[in-house]
Every structure is written in C-alpha cells, then in structure tokens.
Amino acid sequence: MLLLTGQIFIYFNLFLVLSFLFLHNRFPSFFSSITIRLIGITGCIPFLVLMLGFIISDFTILNVSMNSFIDDPIFYKMASAWGSHEGSILLWIFIINLYLLFFLIRNKNHKNIIRNILLIEVGFLFYVILSSNPFIYYEVTANHQGMGLNPVLQHFLFVIHPPILFLGYIGLIIPFSTAVYILSSQNFDKKHFQTILIWSKISWFFLTLGIVLGSYWAYSELGWGGWWFWDPVENISLIPWLLTTAIIHSAAVSIKKNELKIWSLNLCLYAFIAAIFGTFLVRSNLIISVHSFASDPLRGMYLLAIVAYLLSFAVYLNIKSVKLFNQDKFYLLSRESFLLFNNIFFISAALTVFIGTIYPLFTEIIYQKQVSVGAPYYNVTFNILLAPAILLMALAPQLSWGKSTINYKSLWAAVIASIVIGLLAFLIWSNMYFTIAAVLCFPILSVSLFTIPALFKAKNISFVSQWLAHLSIAVFILAAVFTEQFDKDYNIEFSKNSQVTQSLNRSIDITLNDIHESSFSNHQKIKVDVTINKSGNMIQLNPSKNIYQPSGQVTTEVSKKSYYFDNFYSTITSITESNVILNVVYKPLINLLWLSTMLLILGIGLSIFRKNKYE
Amino acid sequence: MKFQKINSRLKTRLIFFIIIFVCFSSAIYLISYALKDKISFFYSPSEMQGLDIDDKQLIRVGGLLKKNSLKLENTIWYFDIIDEQEISISVIFKKTLPNLVEENKGIIVEGIYKNNILMANTVLAKHDENYMPQSTIDKMKSEGVWRGD
C-alpha cells in the first residue's frame, strides 16, 4: 500500500513539474501558483511515505527490508530512511520541495526562479526513477524481521547529521536558480541579490552545522580519522562551504556598492555545482574514502549527467555574460576591495581542496599509480593560503565602503603587539606552529574583544554577528593548532588484580579501579573503570569492549570525558588473562574548538534573523 | 584632468591585477609543490616488493589482514597485511585497533616503512559492512580472486 502511494506521488510530482515547465506560459497566473504549491507538497510526500514505511516496518518495501530491523528504536527507524543511497536521494527531493515551499512564502511572484528550481528537481526525479527508486516490492517471508541498520551507524548523530548537511547542500539551489535567472534575464535588481544573500546564509548555517556535527561524530568513533582527516568526504563538504563563505562576502558588495555582481553570481553557480559534484565523487566510489557509501557506477554516471547538466547552464551563462565583465571600479583601500581579497583567498583555498581531492583519480588514470593526499598536502597549501585572510579579517571590517583610510599608528601598534605575543607564545610553549597561529590570530582576537562590547553598548547589534563570526574563526584556529600540536597519546598496561596508579606525565596520573564483566542477551561487556588525576581533579573514564555472540565479533567502545576545554579519550587496546592495556589520548583545548564552531553558527544565525542591513 | 582620472584608475587596476596574480600564482606554486612532495603513495604489499621506499614519507598500504597474524606484545599490535599474491608485509601499531578490523577482511594502514616493517600511525576503519576499499576490490579483480558482485 505504502509502496504504491510512494510510487504514485513520485510520478505525480514529475507530471506536475513537467507540465509546469512546458506549459506555465499558458497557465493563468492563479492556476500556476496553485500548481507550484501542489508541486511543493507532492514532492515532499514520497520521502514521508518512505519514512512511514520505516516506522511501521513495512517490509514489502525492499529498502525498508534492507536497512531496518523490527526492534530498532523508533529514532533509528526514522533515520534509516536516509541510511541508504535511495532514501537519501529521496530526502534531497524532499528538501528541494521544502525549500520551494519556504521560498514561496516571501517570493510569490518569482515564477522564473521557481522554474529554475524545478528544472533542477526534474533531474533528481529522473535520477530516482531511473536508478535509485526505493519503492521496490520485496517478497516477505513469514518471520522476516529486516536486515537491520548497520550497527556502526547507530549513533544519535546519524539521526541529525545527514539531513542538516543536506539542508546545507540543497539550500544552495536557491542562490543557483536566482543567479541563473539574473544572468539569463540580465535583470540586475538589488532585491535578487538580497534573495541570494539571505538564502546563501541559510545554506551556510546548515552547512557549517552539518560539517561540525560530522566532524564531532568522526572524532567520537575510533578509526574514522579524528575531527578532521582531509578525507574526500570531508573535503567535498568543505568546498561548497568555502565558496558559500565567498558568496556571503561578495554579495554584500553587490548589494551595497552595486559591484562584483557577475562575480557573486558565478560563485552561486559553482557553489551548487561543487556540492552536487562532491556527491557524485563519493557516491560513485571513484575516490577512496574512509567514510564510504554503498556505491554503484551506474548511479555515479547519472549524477555525473546531472553535474554536466548544471555545468552546461553555468558555462552558457558565463559565455553570455562575458561582455558585462570589467565594469567595476574600486578604491584599493576600501571595504569592498578587501572583501574581494577575501574572495580570492577563499576561492584559491577551495581550488586547492578540489585539486587535492581529485588528484588521486588523476594519477590513477594517467600514471596508474595510487596516491593518497592527506594532511601534509593541505598543511602547505590550504593553511598557508588562508593565513593572510586571517590577518585581513581583523582589518577589513574597520574599513568603510568607498574610499577609506587606515590609522597607521594603530596598525603599527597591532603589528608590534602581535610580534610580542608571538614571542611570548614561543617562550611559553616553544612550538613554531602555535606561535604562527598566535601571531595571525592576535589582531582579530584583540580587535573583536574590544569591538563586540562597544557594539552592544551602542545597541548596534547588526554588526555583532559579523564580529562574532570573525572572532570564532580566530578561536577555532588557535584551538585547532593547539590540540593538534600538544595532544598526547599514552599506552598504559595494568595488571588485572591490583589497584595501581601510574603517572603519565608531571600533572596526570591514572588509576585502575575496577574491571567488571556483565552479560547481555547477545553480548558480553567488559568494562574498565579508571580515574585520571589531573593536578588534583578526578576524571572518571570507563572504556569497554563488547563481545558479540555467536559471531565472536568484538567492538571497542570509546569513553571520553572533558576537563574544562580538554578532553580525555580512552579505549581498551586489549584484555588478556593477566592484564589490561588502555590507550588514553589527551586532547587539550578540543572543546574550545567545538565552542568556537558554535559561536560561528550563532554568528551566522544572528545575521539571518537580524534586520537586513543592506536594505 | 580626465586623463589623470583614467590614469589613477589604471593604476588601481594594475595593483589589483598584481595582487590577484600573486595570490593565484602562489596558490598554483604551492599546489604543484605539495603534489610533488607531500602526497603519500598507496600500495598493495606485492607492489612494494623491490621498491625503494623513502623511510621519511608516509605511505598507505591496503590489503587483507592476514589470518592468525594479529598479536599483541607489550602494548603493541603486530600484524601482517597480505594481498592476493600471498605477499605480506609486517605492521606495528601502538594504539587501539578500530572496530571491524578483522582477520581476512580489508584494511588500510598509514605509516612509515622502515627496515621492512610498516610503523603505522593510523589504521582506518570502514563503516559499511558491505564496504571494501575500491582499491582492494580493484586489485582483487585484476588478480581474479574477487568474489563479490
């Protein structure tokens, strides 16, 4: 029953979209606005039906049978709806239509932009119908209980991380469609750029949140490479993020100064294409990733076709708009030119990530040699390229639009203060990388710590979000460099039957309290209780191992606890007859890193809800 | 007067052009330098035979975890990675092995190869039960031992 409903609504939605696309010029306006709403609603239904199928465990749907287990908790059952490839593409369509409905609230008359959105939705609808239809009938045997969701995915972040990230990727569809409309109609109305800015911010909000949640999840699981591993799946989410960051900065110039328009529009085109292209890369299995997806070359080809389809839009519009280039006039020392520099740095950074991500594909085809591009590559490219941008972040918001001046006295003061701070940092921690980070981040830290309270005092809240975002980046960099440079990794061997204390370093001791075993229906749990004494503060950790019957498969459960901004991360390496070996990782300031990302998300959230300062 | 204005605009343009040029060319320089020196190679154990591998460079090795090779001595894991040509290399790993690392299953290890031993600093875990690294599948396919699909 559900199977049929899902099928019918996919086709019905496709029918409505196609008829709107081909016939909307002949529709009376009343009729076409009804059709658009109907498209939005019917487009949401198939995914909801699939989710209902998961909730009630309707195993006649193949996808439900393959990815759900009858006794899974309800949240995992719901989340299983995007656990598989088919389900997640259906979620894409759901989100496109959700955005369509929200877009309609404030933009009733933008039929042309809506048409562009639907032109893209058609691609995804065909994609579902041709290659990833989840509504396939499955012949159920009497006591079929489902194949079950992959146990590795049973984590609360599985419930929220994918949909939020998808909201981020697909949110870029509105800037894309608007940019296509502006470029094809040559109607450079300011209000369209405002549409672009606000929807880019919404998308950027979800992208940031999605990436951070993913990063936290990877940090929590053993063997997923830590909070950032420069894995292809991580990179392909970073590329649209960097480009969207660039859009937000350049669209401000387009609105305020009526410049950098073609530039901003092109960014909108390529940010969305980058998001789809990234999906193609990781779902076609062309590139080796730790965070892999079940893959199928045919599906990859369809996604590639969609990318080519979107790219053809972009290239056509690029050619069409060539003659519009070269109209901007800038003062070198002005806010707009610094925003342009921001864009150049961010676009170069996106480019380096892109090249690093696809390079293994390239070497495999050309040299038949497999390579992996990891942190060493990004340390010399990405990090060096973004370093100047950090310095500019302190300076740029203080410049005014148009011709501006710099107070050279305070500039020199800032330069000298940063150098002093750098020297101090080097004396205290004697670490080169952290010293560089401190020098780079000090100007923005000090300026924003002065500016934010002043802005609050002056009740000038509209600029707080911007300073908050810049401050959070500086804090993030300091925390990230600190945690990577000063983390410690300890292997500790305890003999099983004695309470002994071992010293890890001058300020950290660890004591084994207890080892207990408990039996559950399908597994046996061995839990180790240890106490870490960090200069008088006690931190309890209890890592465990589960041994599943009858397979004998062993899983290692991580136990992590925070001590202010630091985090202790412990696992049982092994347990033998006589002793137990623990691995304890000390991650200093990692919580400051998470906090800074929350600050960034708060900053962007504030800027979405505040009164648009460019109006 | 007018000429001066154009002149100053040209000057600004030139400065912009130079800045953009410097940025992008340094980006390209950094990328090409990093792609030459800062990438790590991905090998199967049999590909590593007879190769002179720099003991300062990180490499990744993929294959299957050899049966009965996994053992623990003094908080250190020792195991072998084997490929379909029955050639294996020894690995040392000092941290906790991730879940789903099992004998006769695919494994990817990153580390430094020295004195015929791979000192691993990272062991990567697949998250998908059906998952096997594509490179491993490709290698198995090319050697005719792939049983999937």
A448-497 pLDDT, tens digit each: 988 888 888 887 777 888 899 999 999 999 999 999 999 998 988 888 87
- Contacting residues of A for B58, CB less than 8 Å apart: 374, 376
Mutate to test the interface with A, among B96, B109, B127 (most CBs of A within 10 A): B96
Task: Pick the residue from chain B with its C-alpha nearest to A557.
Answer: B99
Asked if A589 and A482 count as a contact pair (C-beta separation under 8 A), the reply is: yes
> Which residues, other chains included, contact A204 with Cβ-Cβ below 8 Å and sequence gap of 6+?
A168, A171, A241, A244, A245, A248, A604
Helix or strand run (H / E) with residue A88:
helix A85-106
- Among A121, A150, A179, where does a domain finish? A150
Domain count, chain B: 2
Residues 115-144 of chain B with CB under 8 A from chain A are: 122-131, 133-135
Contact A174, A199 (CB under 8 A): yes
Residue A293 is predicted with a pLDDT of 67
Domain assignment present for B74: yes
Find the length of chain A: 615
* Domain assignment of residue B148, yes or no: no
Question: Do A208 and A298 share a domain, yes or no?
Answer: yes
Same domain assignment for residues A229 and A314:
yes
Q: β-strand A566-575 against B71-73: which pairing, if any?
A: unpaired
Would the pLDDT of A266 be above 90? yes
- Closest residue by Cα to residue A343 from A420, A413, A252: A252
Same domain, B77 and B126: yes
Whether residue A296 is found in the same domain as residue A182: yes
pLDDT for A614 beyond 60 = no
Residues A266 and A177 in one domain: yes
DSSP state of B52: -
Yes or no, beta carbons of B31 and A292 under 8 Å apart: no
Residue type, A430: S
Q: Classify B76 as helix, strand or coil.
A: strand
CB atoms under 10 Å from CB of B66, counted, come to: 21
Task: Provide the sign of the torsion angle of the four alpha carbons A211, A217, A221, A226, taken in this order.
Answer: positive
Residues of chain A in contact with residue B130, where contact means CB-CB under 8 angstroms, are: 294
Task: Please indicate, yes or no, whether residues B45 and B107 belong to a single structural domain of this protein.
Answer: yes
Question: Nearest by CB to B127, which of A152, A285, A360?
Answer: A152
Are residues A372 and B40, on separate chains, in Cβ contact within 8 Å? Answer: yes
CA distance B51 to A34: 68
In a domain, A400, yes or no: no
What is residue B6's predicted lDDT score, i.e. its pLDDT?
61
pLDDT band of residue A152 (cuts 50, 70, 90) is low
Give the per-residue pLDDT at A540. Answer: 93
B43, pLDDT greater than 80: yes
- Inter-chain CB proximity A371 and B128 less than 8 Å: no
Confirm whether A206 is domain-assigned.
yes
Two tokens, residue B36: 């030459």
CATH code for the domain of B61:
2.40.50.140
The reply to whether B89 and B136 lie within a common domain is yes
Asked whether residue A615 is assigned to any structural domain, the reply reads no
User: What's the mean pLDDT in A424-429?
Assistant: 94
In-domain check, residue B147: no
Please check whether residues A308 and A349 belong to one and the same domain. Answer: yes
Say yes or no: B46 and B32 in one domain.
no
Query: Are B45 and B86 part of one and the same domain?
Result: yes
Residue A353 has pLDDT above 80, yes or no: yes
Structural domain includes residue B125 = yes
The H-or-E segment that residue A554 falls in is strand A554-557
Structure tokens at A347: 């676009």
Of B74, B96, B130, the CB nearest to A222: B96
The reply to whether B11 and B81 lie within a common domain is: no
Domain extent, residue A273, equals 155-326+334-394
Residues B12, B63 within the same domain:
no
Residues of B in contact with A554 (CB under 8 A): 99
Strand partners, A529: A514
The better pLDDT of the pair A530, A329 is held by A530
CA end-to-end distance (rounded Å), chain B: 76
Based on the fold, state whether residues A140 and A220 are members of the same structural domain: no
Contact B95 A553 (CB under 8 A): no
Which 8-state DSSP code applies to residue A137? Answer: B
Nearest to B133 by CA among B31, B46, B65, B40: B65
Write out the H or E segment, with its range, that includes residue A567.
Answer: strand A566-575
One domain, residues A215 and A263: yes
Does residue B78 form part of some domain?
Answer: yes
Domain residues for B67?
41-142
Contact A555, B102 (CB under 8 A): no
**Which amino acid appears at position A557 of this protein?**
E
Number of folded domains that form chain A: 4
Does the residue B85 lie in any domain? yes
Phi-psi region of A331 (alpha: psi -120 to 50; beta: other; left: phi over 0): beta
In a domain, A550, yes or no: yes
Three-class secondary structure of residue B99 per DSSP:
coil
Mean pLDDT value across chain A = 88
Q: What is the pTM of this model?
A: 0.91
Better-scored residue on pLDDT, A584 or A285:
A584
pLDDT in tens, B116-136: 899 998 888 665 534 444 444
Secondary structure (DSSP) of A478-499:
HHHHHHHHH-EEEEEEEETT--
Q: Do A344 and B23 touch (CB under 8 A)?
A: yes
Distances (CA, A) of A179 to A105, A149, A243, B56: 20, 40, 14, 48
Residues A46-104 pLDDT 10s: 999 999 999 998 888 888 877 777 777 888 888 889 888 889 899 999 999 999 999 99
Q: Where are the alpha helices (DSSP H) in A328-400?
A: 335-366, 375-380, 382-395
Q: Are residues A342 and A355 in the same domain?
A: yes
Rg of chain B over all Cα atoms, to the nearest angstrom: 24
Q: What is the mean pLDDT of chain B?
A: 77
| A150/B contact by beta carbon, under 8 A | yes
Contact residues on chain A for B134, CB-CB shorter than 8 A? 285-286, 288, 295
Using pLDDT thresholds of 50, 70 and 90, give the confidence band for residue B40.
confident
- Choose between B58 and A174: higher pLDDT: A174
Q: What is the SS3 assignment for B111?
A: strand
Whether residue B60 sits in one domain with residue B19:
no
Q: Is there a single domain that holds both residue B76 and residue B133?
A: yes
pLDDT tens digit sequence for A211-249:
999 999 999 988 788 899 898 899 999 999 999 999 999
| pLDDT score recorded for residue B136 | 43
Q: Are residues B27 and B100 in the same domain?
A: no
Residue B75: inside a domain: yes
**Chain B 83-112, CB below 8 Å of chain A: which residues?**
94-102, 108, 110
Measured in degrees and rounded to the nearest 5, phi and psi for residue A93 equal -65, -40
* Single-letter amino acid, residue A382: F
Q: How many CA atoms within 13 Å lie on the side-chain side of A42?
A: 20
3-state secondary structure of A162: helix
Residue at B149 is within a domain: no
One domain for residues A241 and A256:
yes
- Whether A598 has a pLDDT exceeding 90, the answer reads yes
One domain for residues A382 and A465: no
* pLDDT (0 to 100) of residue B126: 60
Task: Tell me the ipTM for this assembly.
Answer: 0.77
A91 within a domain of the structure (yes/no): yes
Dihedral sign, Cα of residue A54, residue A60, residue A62, residue A67: positive
Select the residue of B9, B75, B128 nearest A581 (Cβ to Cβ).
Answer: B75
Task: Give the residue, A152 or B119, on which the prediction is more confident.
Answer: B119
- Rounded CA-CA distance A325/A316 in Å is 15
Pair A368, B142: CB distance under 8 Å: no
What backbone torsions phi and psi does residue A494 show, to the nearest 5 degrees?
A: -115, 145
Q: Where are the alpha helices (DSSP H) in A284-329?
A: 297-320
Note whether B11 and B82 are same-domain residues.
Answer: no
Q: Are A372 and A503 within one domain?
A: no
Tell me the chain A residues in contact with residue B127 when contact means C-beta distances shorter than 8 Å.
150, 152-153, 221, 224, 290-292
- Under an 8 A CB cutoff, do A331 and B16 touch? no
- Are B42 and A372 inside 8 Å of each other by CB? yes
* Bond prior to A550 in cis (omega within 30° of 0): yes
| CA nearest to A54, candidates A142, A159, A129 | A159
Are residues A83 and A230 part of one domain? no
As a whole number of angstroms, the distance between CA A507 and CA A518 comes to 33
C-beta neighbour count of A368 within 10 angstroms = 7
pLDDT band at B141 (very low <50, low <70, confident <90, very high): low
Does B124 lie in the same domain as B61?
A: yes
**Could you tell me the sign of the dihedral formed by the alpha carbons of A317, A321, A326, A327, in that order?**
negative
Give a yes or no: residue A399 inside a domain: no
Q: Is residue A401 part of a domain?
A: no
Q: What are phi and psi of A78, to 5 degrees?
A: -65, -45
Question: Residue A590's pLDDT is what?
Answer: 96
Inside any domain, residue A238 = yes
Beta carbons of A148 and A68 less than 8 angstroms apart: yes
CB A352 within 8 A of CB A385: yes
The one-character DSSP state at A400 is P
pLDDT band at A552 (very low <50, low <70, confident <90, very high): low
